[in-house]
Structure 1
Amino acid sequence: MARGELFIVSAPSGAGKSTLIRKAIEGLAGHRGVTFSVSHTTRRPRAGEVEGKDYYFIDREAFEKMIAEDRFLEWANVYEEFKGTSCDEVLPRLEQGIDVILDVDVQGAEQVMERFPESIGIFILPPGPQELSRRLHERGLDEEQEIARRLAVSLWEIKRYPQYQYVIINDDLDRASDHLTAIILEKRPQLERQKERVEQILRDFEAAHGTE
């Protein structure tokens, strides 16, 4: 069985990455073998977030225990909270030939890319600093000091876009979502996925025609 593809999606805070991924997942609903990896985090749930769907919400002690047990594919301290992707969320699925989409920050992406150099990196860009600032203020999740910090970090993150194979400018949600969906569908090795079965069918035909 062919191994699944690993898609790494990163963006500065407020660029709309999570919304974009959710919309792309909806667009991929009719395609089998694609799944979203749910991360663990120590931060509190935001309004509308669902345990086990958006994140696994755990306390710091439980997170640090997972670090000690080497259970994370990647993890990082993001704005004073821990966030990470467990190996159990990714590795078994890849081995089963399932494509996995990771929603990770730049720190986490670097760790995954080092371990899986064949992974496909997709960086989401806001159309500009003013728009990013507007989005961070409009979502109303952070104090002014925290927003300023996120905007400062965003420059460091954006400078790392050359590490990614694709860049999507999220100036229009529908268009950006279509772009993300198209990248994922384009990169899915359909023939490779079916190679074992195709080869078996070929052997069956050869046997039927006495040409084996």
Structure 2
Amino acid sequence: MAATFRGTTPEPPDVRPRLTVLSGPSGVGKSTVVAHMRKEHPEVWLSVSATTRKPRPGEQHGVHYFFVTDDEMDKLIANGELLEWAEFAGNRYGTPRAAVLERLEKGEPVLLEIDLQGARQVRESMSDARLVFLAPPSWEELVRRLTGRGTESPEVIERRLAAARTELAAEPEFDETLVNTSVEDVARELLALMDVV
């Protein structure tokens, strides 16, 4: 007689990996963590944003950003072709939806490194995305990182600190929190969350 298992029907394997979104306050080290992680694991695909800003020396179209005109950005937004978008310093930035979905369909691990506003937009358009919050070891350490450059006026620093307080308050909206005490450790933890070993 065959054994019966009540309530333990195995779930079909989830073929498509979840999109992972890394966010956190300015100065917490998101770019540093991502750069370290991708050096060790280049198979993790980092989405390339579209932007209306002009290329800086050495930046390549399609590698660092997709450089688009204001009209092109208007069309991308109007047609729902961006997972998220935001405006910074008079320029707009956004994540092209099709490229992200294409990589996920192929079963590739996909990472977005974006700000809080973008993370909230991704949550609305892709509810199964995994949102990871990168937190500083302490408020004092974040203040040190934000003020340590010594290149900004007290007004600019105060604005950045105010923004950081708002961003830190959003931590409960995220699925996971990683504390950036060590770039290597956080990169390892992030890879584990993404099932990349």
Is the 8 Å Cα contact of residues 5 and 98 (structure 1) preserved in structure 2?
no
Aligned: 1:17 with 2:30: yes
Distance 2:167 2:177 in 1: 13
Residue 75 of structure 1, CA deviation: 0.8
Kindly provide the amino acid, as one letter, of the partner of residue 143 in structure 2. Answer: S
Question: What is the TM-score of this pair, normalised by structure 1?
Answer: 0.73
Change over 3 Å in CA distance of 1:184–1:154 after alignment to 2: same
Is the 8 Å Cα contact of residues 4 and 96 (structure 1) preserved in structure 2?
no
User: 1:66 aligns to what?
Assistant: 76
User: 1:155 aligns to what?
Assistant: 165
Change over 3 Å in CA distance of 1:72–1:43 after alignment to 2: same
Residue 176 of structure 1, CA deviation: 1.9
User: 1:36 aligns to what?
Assistant: 46
Residue 141 of structure 1, CA deviation: 6.8
Q: Which runs of 5+ in 2 are unaligned?
A: 1-13
Alignment length, in residue pairs?
184
Distance 2:24 2:56 in 1: 19
Aligned: 1:131 with 2:144: no
User: 1:110 aligns to what?
Assistant: 120
Among the aligned pairs, what percent are the same residue?
37
Paired residue secondary structure (2:27)? coil
Change over 3 Å in CA distance of 1:184–1:10 after alignment to 2: same
Per-residue Cα deviation, 1:58-110 (whole angstroms, up to 9, x for no partner)? 45444333223322111122455422101132111122222210111111111
Distance 1:28 1:171 in 2: 20
Kindly provide the amino acid, as one letter, of the partner of residue 19 in structure 2. Answer: L
Kindly provide the amino acid, as one letter, of the partner of residue 18 in structure 1. Answer: S
Distance 1:123 1:138 in 2: 23
Paired residue secondary structure (1:185)? coil
Kindly provide the amino acid, as one letter, of the partner of residue 159 in structure 2. Answer: R
Which structure shows the bigger proportion of residues in helix conformation?
Answer: 1
Question: What is the TM-score of this pair, normalised by structure 2?
Answer: 0.78
Residue 26 of structure 1, CA deviation: 2.0
Output the aligned Cα RMSD: 2.7
Distance 1:139 1:61 in 2: 36
Distance 1:153 1:185 in 2: 32
Per-residue Cα deviation, 1:7-34 (whole angstroms, up to 9, x for no partner)? 01001111110111111122223xx5x3
Distance 1:56 1:142 in 2: 29
Paired residue secondary structure (2:26)? coil
Distance 1:47 1:122 in 2: 32
Kindly provide the amino acid, as one letter, of the partner of residue 22 in structure 2. Answer: V
